[in-house]
Amino acid sequence: MAVNPAFNGASTTLSSNYYMRNFYRAARSARTTAGRREMSNSQLTYADGAALRRAVRSLGSSEFNETQAEDIRNKALAYVETYNHVLSSAADSSDDRITRSAKQMKALSQKYASELDRIGITVHEDGTLESREARLESAPLSRFEKLFSRDSEMMQQMSAHSRKIERQSDALLMEEAQRLAAKQRSRAATDTAASSGSTDTNAGTFGNTAETPATAAAQIVSAAMDLDTLAHTGIGGHINLTL
Mean pLDDT of the chain: 82
Q: Which residues, listed in sequence order, are joined to residue 122 by a DSSP beta bridge?
A: 130
Check whether 195 has a pLDDT greater than 80.
no
pLDDT tier, 238 (very low <50, low <70, confident <90, very high otherwise): very low
Q: Which residues, listed in sequence order, are joined to residue 121 by a DSSP beta bridge?
A: 131
Q: Give the model's pLDDT for residue 199.
A: 52
Identity at 168, one-letter amino acid code? Q
Tens digit of each residue's pLDDT (9 = 90 or more) over 201-228: 444 433 344 444 444 444 434 444 443 4
Identity at 97, one-letter amino acid code? R
91-107 burial, b if ≥16 CB within 10 A, otherwise e? Answer: eebebeebbebbeebbe
Tens digit of each residue's pLDDT (9 = 90 or more) over 34-69: 999 999 999 999 999 999 999 999 999 999 999 999
Q: Give the model's pLDDT for residue 13.
A: 62
Tens digit of each residue's pLDDT (9 = 90 or more) over 168-179: 999 999 998 998
Listing DSSP states for 32-96 in one string gives SHHHHHTS-HHHHHHHHHHHHHHHHHHHHT---SGGGHHHHHHHHHHHHHHHHHHHHHHHT---H
- Which residues, including other chains, have CB under 8 Å from residue 71's CB and lie 6 or more apart? 9, 13, 14, 62
127-138 burial, b if ≥16 CB within 10 A, otherwise e? Answer: bbbebeeeebee
What are the domain boundaries of the chain? 16-164, 169-238
Q: Give the model's pLDDT for residue 216.
A: 43
pLDDT tier, 7 (very low <50, low <70, confident <90, very high otherwise): low
Please compute the mean of the pLDDT values over residues 156-182 and round it to a whole number: 94
Q: Give the model's pLDDT for residue 6.
A: 57
